[in-house]
Structure 1
Amino acid sequence: MSERKLRSEEWFARTGKDGFIYRAWMKNQGIPEHEFKSKPIIGICNTWSELTPCNAHFKELAQSVKNGIFEAGGFPVEFPVMSLGETLMKPTAMLFRNLVSMDVEESIRANPLDGIVLLCGCDKTTPALIMGACSVDIPTIVVSGGSMLTGKFRGKDIGTSDIWRFFADYQTGQMNDEDMYTAEACLARSQGHCAVMGTASSMACMVESLGLSLPQNAAIPAPDSRRKVLAHLSGNRIVEMIREDLKLSDILTRKAFENAITVNAAIGGSTNFIIHLLAIAARIGVDLTIDDFDTTGNQIPLLANLQPSGKYFMEDFFYAGGLPALMKELHEKLNSGIITVSGKPMAQNYENSECYNRDIITTLDKPFNQVAGITVLKGNLCKNGAVMKPSAASVHLLQHIGKAVVFENIEDFNKRINDPQLDVDENSVLVLKNVGPKGYPGMPEVGNMLIPKKLLDKGITDMVRISDGRMSGTGFGTVVLHISPEAAVGGTLAIVQDGDIIELDYRNRLLNVRLSDEEIASRKLNRADDAAIALRGYAHLYQTHVEQAHLGADLDFLKGNSGSKVLRDSH
């Protein structure tokens, strides 16, 4: 080790009563003194939980990290934080992202840790852990859990995006209960997160494109033994990072964020990427705005033929060369000289990679789709912005004018969407209110509203849908999301009524309701009060302090970082 004093020495190198207490209680686990007194202490932040199926294999993955840490001369200590299971948690895992970030931040700061390995996979665990670690800013590396193997159903490859197709077929009688039970047994056939380029895979790609993981972290399938090898090597590397004092703030520069935006466009990544990257940037102190996602990413075509924007699955993506192969195709668009956790410039992480399947990873001059990225819309319906994913939308709906069919909240939508008397046709615009950060609370993934059954029966599979909520990264369709300000805080969305004319103009980045400023102002004067605030607990804290979607929906008092110094030395 270098002469630089380790952070953990503030605990374990002390003499007298304080050192006695710190060392004695660690020794009750059978640990010899030299293991934690003379070596760097590496925290393994583990989001393992049987209630988070995507991360249920993390005990085994953590052992591979430990093996690497021991081999490199460090001492690993594994600790749990609250885990967010996207598939089970109500009302939405997003409500608790900021809470987990607080758990991570305080767990790191309060304990004798010199470096951190973040084990994350399911959608919200990745941004939550990175946000918390950014607020402490010590050497940190990320190990993602990997995607599950591609599902197999009656001779076809399937993944999470097929859930929406299956349910549409179920509504129209093309699938019955037995078909659905069979399909669900075929979908998630191994450990890991969603097999498509949903939010979890988008977050894994975000991590690698930011330079926070070793190469190939994004796409190695969870059951593949190479995932364990990567975890082992990450354990090796975090010990070296401590010796180099390579921190998150050294890696997460403005140029790193630009790289992540560019890559997310090229892979057809989730719209949720915006809200998470904005929150991470605010924690580390990089000035990033929602408009950067349009200006940086709007010239990047779709290079990855992956569901939901394309055909293939994450397992296929890895076999085709993975993210390094795709980033090599993007070389001229990337800030290739920035430092990464590997200790090397970004370009060296992908320069020796190769594409093995041009039907999955293509080139800049022959992309799968010229329309890619995440489009940021502005207009009188979304003064601070709204987002959509054009690569997953229907081309004929990207320029659209239609009458609003309004649902005041998700309960109203669920009650009336399949009412045969609902006044709706394929040209209508479905409008869902009060599913934003404050109004729901937590901003659930309900923005890709189901198509009314009577339209499905006519063969309609897409229509324009707008809301202040989010949608799953596995979803698709012509869906406008994250409208800001949200309805619950008095945004224009709150006063939209049935029959109002909505205009979506993708080409000019506009979303408007055809009402005069005077009419909008008049309706706002007569609107109901803002969302009811929960009376106690975390929900009260969240609703009182959550920022709007265009700022990342973090809590206002968590922006920035307060460093690694403990609040007070109590012994």
Structure 2
Amino acid sequence: MKKTAKKKTARSKTAADMRPHSAIMLDGPDRAPSRAMLYPTGFKKADFKKPIIGIASTWSNVTPCNMHIDELARESEAGANKAGGKAIVFNTITISDGISMGTEGMKYSLVSREVIADSIETVVGCECMDGYVAIGGCDKNMPGCMIAIARMNRPAVFVYGGTILPGCITGESKKLDIVSVFEAVGAHSNNKITDKGLEDITSCAIPGPGSCGGMYTANTMASAIEAMGMSLPGSSAQAAISPAKKRDSREAGAAVYNMLKKGIKPRD
């Protein structure tokens, strides 16, 4: 008699299965000192039985690419907590080679990628986080986040900080971005625009938070990361300041909890 093969179905993890790392740090009478350290940070008794989900934020006022990421981190925190996890927000550094290009500062640019990856891995590993969200929005912190995700191989989702909205000079309809400023520098050097004309473009080209508004490094990498399945569908095309980006950040926190529940890891 021919036997019919049974279809295998994915088994959801139990509450204990979802805490492979945090349980080691927090469970049992001997780990009471560790729990005591977390009560003042906002933990409640019930939180110690939830998976810890880190929120790696690259917030900084160094560059407009990252100046809003603290807000997105809080959205991811809320999403992870609502799903059933316990989120912990932490920060890493960022630099802007878009600002420092042409100076000695560029010697630090590529190095910063490794510092970012190392720092995220350090916090996630040291604090026994079960999974995490990594939020980046500039040329070096985005690959830095991804390097950490690949190394740690714990359930993780990347959130792109989003693109800058276009700027414009008051009373004019032409849209501006960072490339408009480079073009204005060339026009100024050829005496095609005045000092005031250059300053008008310089002061209006970047109106707020987000990564450079075009298919430059950040937006291209965001598209690649989404294509790899490491960020949520549609998230690479959202503006930094938009309801969609806040929603994406919340859903990323919830997605990590779901990955823990289903046992999905980046290298699977």
TM-score normalised by length of structure 1: 0.42
* 1:238 equivalent among 220, 243, 256: 256
Q: Give the structure 2 partner of residue 562 of structure 1.
A: none
C-alpha distance in 1 between matches for 2:231 and 2:147: 15
* 1:202 equivalent among 220, 224, 232: 220
Shift of 1:118: 0.5
8 Å CA contact 1:121, 1:145 repeated in 2: yes
Q: Give the structure 1 partner of residue 176 of structure 2.
A: 158
8 Å CA contact 1:115, 1:139 repeated in 2: yes
Q: Give the structure 2 partner of residue 191 of structure 1.
A: 209
2:236 corresponds to 1:218: yes
2:92 corresponds to 1:81: yes
8 Å CA contact 1:58, 1:119 repeated in 2: yes
8 Å CA contact 2:52, 2:130 repeated in 1: yes
Tell me, what secondary structure is at the counterpart of 1:130? Answer: helix
Shift of 1:162: 2.1
Q: Give the structure 1 partner of residue 36 of structure 2.
A: 24
Tell me, what secondary structure is at the counterpart of 2:121? Answer: helix
Shift of 1:150: 1.2
Shift of 1:168: 1.2
Shift of 1:53: 2.1
2:120 corresponds to 1:104: yes
Tell me, what secondary structure is at the counterpart of 1:56? Answer: coil
C-alpha distance in 2 between matches for 1:167 and 1:103: 37
Q: Give the structure 2 partner of residue 142 of structure 1.
A: 158
Aligned letter for 2:45?
E
C-alpha distance in 2 between matches for 1:235 and 1:103: 20
* 1:34 equivalent among 41, 46, 52: 46
Q: Give the structure 1 partner of residue 60 of structure 2.
A: 49
Tell me, what secondary structure is at the counterpart of 2:248? Answer: helix
Tell me, what secondary structure is at the counterpart of 1:156? Answer: coil
C-alpha distance in 2 between matches for 1:61 and 1:99: 22
CA deviations over 1:282-327 (Å, ceiling 9, x no partner): xxxxxxxxxxxxxxxxxxxxxxxxxxxxxxxxxxxxxxxxxxxxxx
Aligned letter for 1:139?
P
CA deviations over 1:234-257 (Å, ceiling 9, x no partner): 11111000111211101xxxxxxx
Q: Give the structure 2 partner of residue 64 of structure 1.
A: 75
Tell me, what secondary structure is at the counterpart of 2:237? Answer: coil
1:53-452 matched pairs, under 5 angstroms: 53-89=64-100, 90-92=105-107, 93-153=109-169, 154-250=172-268
8 Å CA contact 1:53, 1:85 repeated in 2: no
Using the aligned pairs only, state the percent identity.
26
* 2:23 equivalent among 3, 6, 9: 9
Aligned letter for 2:32?
F
Aligned letter for 1:91?
M
**More helix as a share of residues:** 2
Q: Give the structure 1 partner of residue 7 of structure 2.
A: none
C-alpha distance in 1 between matches for 2:246 and 2:176: 25
Tell me, what secondary structure is at the counterpart of 1:42? Answer: strand
8 Å CA contact 1:108, 1:133 repeated in 2: no
CA RMSD of aligned residues (A): 1.5
Shift of 1:5: 5.6
* Over 4 Å off, 4+ runs: none
C-alpha distance in 1 between matches for 2:57 and 2:226: 19
Tell me, what secondary structure is at the counterpart of 1:112? Answer: coil
Shift of 1:209: 0.8
CA deviations over 1:207-266 (Å, ceiling 9, x no partner): 11111111111111011111101111111111000111211101xxxxxxxxxxxxxxxx
C-alpha distance in 1 between matches for 2:18 and 2:221: 34
CA deviations over 1:536-561 (Å, ceiling 9, x no partner): xxxxxxxxxxxxxxxxxxxxxxxxxx
Aligned letter for 2:106?
P
C-alpha distance in 2 between matches for 1:199 and 1:91: 16
Shift of 1:29: 2.2
Shift of 1:20: 1.6
Aligned letter for 1:121?
G
Which moves more between the two structures, 122-131 or 99-108? 99-108
C-alpha distance in 1 between matches for 2:114 and 2:135: 17
Structure with the bigger RCO (C-alpha within 8 Å, sep 6+) is 2
C-alpha distance in 1 between matches for 2:219 and 2:18: 38
Aligned letter for 1:197?
M
CA 30–224 in structure 1, closer or farther in 2 if over 3 Å, else same = closer
C-alpha distance in 2 between matches for 1:38 and 1:72: 14
Shift of 1:190: 2.0
Tell me, what secondary structure is at the counterpart of 1:87? Answer: helix
CA deviations over 1:508-563 (Å, ceiling 9, x no partner): xxxxxxxxxxxxxxxxxxxxxxxxxxxxxxxxxxxxxxxxxxxxxxxxxxxxxxxx
Segments of structure 1 that go 5 or more residues without pairing to the other structure are 251-571
TM-score normalised by length of structure 2: 0.88
C-alpha distance in 1 between matches for 2:144 and 2:28: 33
CA deviations over 1:94-128 (Å, ceiling 9, x no partner): 23212222112222222120101001011111001
CA 30–236 in structure 1, closer or farther in 2 if over 3 Å, else same = closer
C-alpha distance in 2 between matches for 1:102 and 1:143: 18
Aligned letter for 2:54?
G
Tell me, what secondary structure is at the counterpart of 1:53? Answer: coil
